[in-house]
Structure 1
Amino acid sequence: MVHMSAAQESDAYELDDDPTRIQVDAVWEWLSTEAYWGRWRTRADVETQIANAWRVVGVYRTDTGEQVGFARAVSDGVGFAYVADVYVLDEHRGHGLGKRLMQLMIDDGPGADMRWTLFTSDAHGLYRQYGFTEPDRTAMVRPARIA
């Protein structure tokens, strides 16, 4: 096993918010087989969601260019944003990529001062680091009709 320093480890990955760089095949592969949410979506649905996203962020290996993480957001561009489909491939976890992904998506992006929402049943610890909390009495949600 090769051990890398923190600097080498961070250099092993690049994060980018260029939508033309997103590898739709890689995103589809993970979302359609590994995600516990939204598996009802077709490939065309996922392609539409990526194409219509307000913002996307990809995580890429610097040596191969392989996409190993992703997040997308929808927004009104002024005061509200919703982050979805956040993932890092299992074999690339443990390198702080989830934190870097959220940092670029939320705090270092154009929506840093917006109200952000998300739905998740895991990774609450990660999201709390970026100011997410459970909704208060002012929040209401209408669940999707799709199972």
Structure 2
Amino acid sequence: MDRMHDDPRTGYDLDDDPTRIQPDVVWGWLSTEAYWGRWRSRADVETQISRAWRVVGAYRRDTGEQVGFARAVSDGIGFAYLADVFVLPEHRGHSLGKRLVQLMIDDGPGADMRWMLFTGDAHGLYRRFGFTEPDATAMVRPSAR
């Protein structure tokens, strides 16, 4: 689908082209900064990226350096799971988190799907996109890890 969203005022481009994803950047952040999923190996993260239903990246326009990321898994019809959303700290404050989630959810092929995610923070960000606490129809089986 390779949709590009650029805003000349910010100096950043966002798109869903999986070939632009820079695994070193994604692995570097997820393996050291993410409070979730640090048990994953680099091979695990690379597999998750390659098997994702969709990935979205944020990039510096001047250098092409990846500074943000989000991935989703989905059945492609009615359900999607948002995961591994991050913006490198030195690039925060440019609405990149909002733009990543918007491109992933509202501007993508899953706009009408039921989305879910797990998060320990950033609830305010996700509420802007309609996420709420689960209703009585949701159940979760915690990881055995």
- Shift of residue 19 of structure 1? 0.3
Structure 1 residue 42, shift from structure 2 partner: 0.1
| Structure 1 residues without counterparts, runs of 5 or longer | 1-6
Q: Which amino acid aligns with 1:64?
A: T
CA distance in 1, matches of 2:117, 2:90: 24
Q: Does 1:93 align with 2:67?
A: no
The unaligned stretches of length 5 or more in structure 2 are: 1-6
> Which aligned segments of 4 or more residues in structure 1 are displaced greater than 2 angstroms?
7-10
Query: SS of the residue aligned with 2:59?
Result: strand
Render the CA deviation track for 1:16-50: whole Å, top value 9, x for unaligned.
Answer: 10001100010000000000000000000000000
Q: Does 1:33 align with 2:32?
A: yes
Q: By how many angstroms is 1:62 displaced?
A: 0.1
Q: Give the structure-1-normalised TM-score.
A: 0.93
| Aligned AA (1:62) | R
State the distance in 2 between where 1:92 and 1:134 align.
Answer: 29
Q: CA RMSD in A?
A: 0.9
**Percent of aligned pairs sharing the same letter:** 80
**Contact 1:68–1:92 under 8 Å retained in 2:** yes
CA distance in 1, matches of 2:101, 2:128: 9
Q: Give 2:134's aligned residue.
A: 135
TM-score under structure 2 normalisation? 0.94
Q: Distance in 1 between matches of 2:82 and 2:128?
A: 15
Q: CA deviation at 1:9?
A: 3.8
Query: Which residue pairs with 1:4 in the alignment?
Result: none
Cα distance between partner residues in 2 of 1:119 and 1:21: 26
Structure with greater proportional helix content: 1
Q: Which amino acid aligns with 2:64?
A: G
TM-superposition CA deviations, 1:58-95 (whole Å, max 9, x none): 00000010000000000000000000000001111111
1:60 aligns to what? 59
Partners in 2 of 1:114 and 1:8 — Cα distance?
30
Q: Is the 8 A contact 1:9 1:95 kept in 2?
A: no
Q: What is aligned with 1:78?
A: 77
Alpha-carbon offset, residue 8 of structure 1? 5.1
- Which residue in the other structure is 1:3 paired with? none
Residues of 2 paired with 1:85 and 1:103: CA distance?
A: 15
Cα distance in 2 between the residues matched to 1:24 and 1:78:
27
